[in-house]
């Protein structure tokens, strides 16, 4: 074994171990809504930021593994599946989708791709609610208003997500070297 091969396997081991630890931390974060029910969206979003950290530190593949591991463990272990589903449907995969869209597509089309992803997950969540028998009686008459409001909130989320990425890259650059 050459010195180069040894470094490569060390990097892979570090990425897998770090991704696994972040996946475990994401599952722990997703258990908090069991104690504090008002934190379901917040904890799912914070778990998504852990996937972002893995992606920035070790790359896309470890981040994808972190996302799949955390989502699967959360579905299997958590008593309330709502946070796990929010993480799996949107917040966990979003750092990877955002990166792909911003690297591959420019300008307004990039925003279009990101809004398409968000609205597709919103539609999927609505269909899952119908399939699982979760009543949405309060929203039926004003569904379009809610969809518009959700898109505005998503816009704020995307902008804040970008700011957090920039803050991590500028202020804590040494963590990602």
Considering the chain, what is the average pLDDT of its residues? 86
Place 138 in a pLDDT band, splitting at 50, 70 and 90.
Answer: low
Cα 64 to chain centroid distance, Å, stands at: 10
Per-residue pLDDT at 9: 57
Task: Assess whether pLDDT exceeds 50 at residue 4.
Answer: no
- Token pair belonging to 100: 């792909």
Task: Assess whether pLDDT exceeds 90 at residue 96.
Answer: yes
Which burial class, exposed, middle or buried, applies to 150 when counting CB atoms under 10 A from its CB (0-12, 13-18, 19+)?
A: middle
Ordered DSSP codes for the chain: --HHHHHHHHHHHHHHHHHHHHHHHHHHHHHHHHH-GGGHHHHHHHHHHHHHHHHHHH-HHHHHHHHHHHHHHHHHH-S--HHHHHIIIIITTHHHHHHHHHHH--THHHHHHHHHHHHHHHHHHHHHHHHHT---GGGSTTHHHHHHHHHHHHHHHHHHHHHHHHHHHHHTGGGG-
Place 158 in a pLDDT band, splitting at 50, 70 and 90.
Answer: very high
Per-residue pLDDT at 143: 72
Task: Assess whether pLDDT exceeds 60 at residue 161.
Answer: yes
In the chain the domains, ranked by start, together with CATH numbers, are: 3-176 (1.10.1760)
Per-residue pLDDT at 151: 93
Q: Do residues 30 and 87 touch, judged by C-beta distance below 8 A?
A: yes
Cα 122 to Cα 115: distance, rounded to the nearest angstrom: 10
The arithmetic mean of pLDDT across residues 149-176, rounded, is 87
Place 10 in a pLDDT band, splitting at 50, 70 and 90.
Answer: low
Per-residue pLDDT at 82: 86
Place 6 in a pLDDT band, splitting at 50, 70 and 90.
Answer: very low
Which burial class, exposed, middle or buried, applies to 46 when counting CB atoms under 10 A from its CB (0-12, 13-18, 19+)?
A: middle
Cα 31 to chain centroid distance, Å, stands at: 16
Task: Assess whether pLDDT exceeds 70 at residue 139.
Answer: no
């Amino acid at each position: 074994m050459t010195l180069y091969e040894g470094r490569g396997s060390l990097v892979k081991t570090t990425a897998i171990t770090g991704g696994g630890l972040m996946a475990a931390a994401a599952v722990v974060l997703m258990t908090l809504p069991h104690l504090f029910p008002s934190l379901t969206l917040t904890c799912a979003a914070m778990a998504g930021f852990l996937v972002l950290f893995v992606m920035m530190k070790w790359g896309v593949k470890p981040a994808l593994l972190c996302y799949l591991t955390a989502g699967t463990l959360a579905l299997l272990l958590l008593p309330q599946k709502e946070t796990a589903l929010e993480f799996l449907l949107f917040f966990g995969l979003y750092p990877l989708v955002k990166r792909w869209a911003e690297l591959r597509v420019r300008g307004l089309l990039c925003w279009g791709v990101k809004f398409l992803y968000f609205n597709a997950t919103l539609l999927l969540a609505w269909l899952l609610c119908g399939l699982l028998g979760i009543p949405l009686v309060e929203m039926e008459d004003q569904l379009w208003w809610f969809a518009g409001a959700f898109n505005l909130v998503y816009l704020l989320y995307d902008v804040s997500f970008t700011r957090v990425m920039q803050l991590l890259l500028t202020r804590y650059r040494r963590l990602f070297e």
